[in-house]
Amino acid sequence: MGGPVWFRVGRGKTRTAYAWFAAIARRCANDRFLVVCRREAFNDWRDEKDKVGLKWVVREIECVDDIFQKRLSSKPIVYLLSHGMLPSQADEMARIAHMFDAVCFDEGYLYKNPSSLRCKAANKISTVVGNACILSGSIMTARNLTDVFGQLYAICHHDVLARTKTEFNSKFMFHLQLGDTGRGPMINRKGAVSQVARLIKPIASIWFPKKGQRTVMNEVKQIEPSRAQEKALEELRTTYSLALKGEELDIKNAPSLIIKCQQISDGWINMANPTPLNKKPAPKIVNIKSAKLEKLVAMVDELLACEERVVVWCAFKESVERVLQALQGFKGVYGMHGGRKFDQRGWKKDGKVAVITEASGSSFNHLRDCAYAIYYSMDVRWLNLQQSKGRTDREDSPHQTCYYWFMQTSRTLDAFVYKCAHISGKREVELLQRAAVKSWLNE
């Protein structure tokens, strides 16, 4: 029993999992359920339990011994285990997995690689538990059918496609031949997508409605660059290098150029050059006056005056910190990135503006009341765009219209990054990046 639950972000995957748990609890004796998710999502699973009215107990697993704590209630127990702990605890968890009635793996796209330690660990546990499901807002992150096999392998439902990855590749994939250079990447065989869709239909729950229950408004807001930005961009364009405040930066490739242009657009640039042996150099941040930042402050001011709540998405941690500093005169502003935890208690109390890195949007469910999302900057990843947009377009969001505003500094590469983010194929993104840089350099 179980299977994959592929719903569009914000369409109730967590509630679906709880409904499945509840159905199992009526006929099973243990009343113990395991959820594997991001640590940042622990509170979301607690909150969702309360929203659906389940008087269950929720416990976190820091080590296997936590499962053997004395039960103080006869209510069913949901145990939360972080993705990061899964590989190291796989053998121990598999040894006692018979104690659970069902297991659920959140953020299913993290298990798309069937050869990864995380996916193999999930398979071990699912094999013993029996009842296993996987939740994801994306079936294929880059039109790669291996993603489907990996997610099914994690929950031991892969037999509908193939017994092994090798067998799967022989049935649905083949190596692209690149002239005399040998075999290229694996790609889907002709008709394989339709064949896989037919085979997984009996075991999968799929819901990607073409039109949601509310109106979605997308708008690109172009901002003229400041003189300092224009000067820095022109130097990059003509010399593929930049000298600022005693620091010199040499650009080595097109992706680096795109990132540096984005940083300039955001009002700063990291002037640190790559170091030998791929060691990460210490950052050398230089300020560049940004017209986009001034425009953002004005937009937030107007929204707050209308008593609206808003989330500002950024591509970089440094940008989050700078936006927070620019908005420090407003009340109810909270930030989050890899090095900064989100103040959930403060946000529930008086939160008005959330400033977050876009990549953090996959496991963050506290923005249901934000009708407005401003993309101060964004990365090229289609999945991050979809996940972040889904944070404000949820099943229980009270607003009837979702507004997505994309800020772009004119004569930069912001517009090309926007285009890349709307394409899921990695190869297509690479081609677009090269075309974007060539076009920008020739302007």
Q: How far apart are CA 431 and CA 429, in angstroms?
A: 5
pLDDT of residue 208: 77
pLDDT of residue 421: 84
245-251 long-range contacts, Cβ below 8 Å, gap at least 24?
Answer: 245/286, 247/271, 247/284, 247/286, 248/273, 249/273
pLDDT of residue 256: 85
| 298-338 pLDDT tens trace | 889 988 888 899 999 999 999 999 999 999 999 999 999 98
pLDDT of residue 40: 78
Beta pairing class for 173-177 and 183-188 = antiparallel
CB 150 within 8 A of CB 112: yes
| 339-390 pLDDT tens trace | 899 999 999 999 999 999 998 866 667 898 999 999 999 988 888 898 899 8
Which of helix, strand or coil describes residue 415? Answer: helix
Helices (DSSP H) in 177-252: which residue ranges?
Answer: 192-200, 227-239
Structural domains of the chain sorted by starting position, each given as residue range(s) with its CATH number in brackets: 2-207 (3.40.50.10810), 213-443 (3.40.50.300)
For the record, the structure tokens of 253 come out as 């490739």
Consecutive 10-residue runs of the chain (443 residues): their mean pLDDT? 86 91 85 90 88 92 88 89 91 93 93 94 95 90 84 96 93 73 73 91 86 78 91 88 85 85 94 71 87 90 88 96 95 92 92 93 79 93 88 87 93 89 61 63 67
Half-sphere exposure of 69 toward its Cβ, with a 13 Å CA cutoff? 15
